[in-house]
Amino acid sequence: MILKDYFKSIDRKFPEVGHTYLDSDRDFGRIEKEMRHHPHAYLLEEYRPIIIQASKGNHVIVTEPHFRDIDNLASSLKLTNRKKGYAW
């Protein structure tokens, strides 16, 4: 991803043993706290506004349009498996 210029850098944090609290833990804690006010949220559409309300910096990106059905991928790409007993 860096080579394709999607990102300039990737920063990875490795906490010390005994100090495993990460920045994302705070975000999830705020979302859990907000969820207490919405105990009957079951659908993704119901969760999005809750996550956004939990903190000013929260953004929800809808990724559903980017999902692909890969069940027929091998046949559509005309891939052939030459090993016997193994089906795509």
Instruction: Report the distance separating Cα 58 and Cα 49, nearest Å.
Output: 10
What confidence tens digit (pLDDT) does each residue in 40-65 have? Answer: 999 988 999 999 999 888 888 888 78
Domain borders along the chain are: 23-76
The pTM score is: 0.50
**Lookup: tokens for 12:** 């990875």
Higher pLDDT, 53 or 21: 53
Report the percentage of the chain scoring pLDDT > 70: 89
CB-based burial of residue 51 (10 Å sphere; 0-12 exposed, 13-18 middle, 19+ buried)? middle
Write down the pLDDT at residue 86.
Answer: 58
**Residue range 68-81: mean pLDDT, rounded:** 81
Contact yes or no for 13/19 (Cβ under 8 A): no
Higher pLDDT, 67 or 39: 39
Write down the pLDDT at residue 32.
Answer: 94
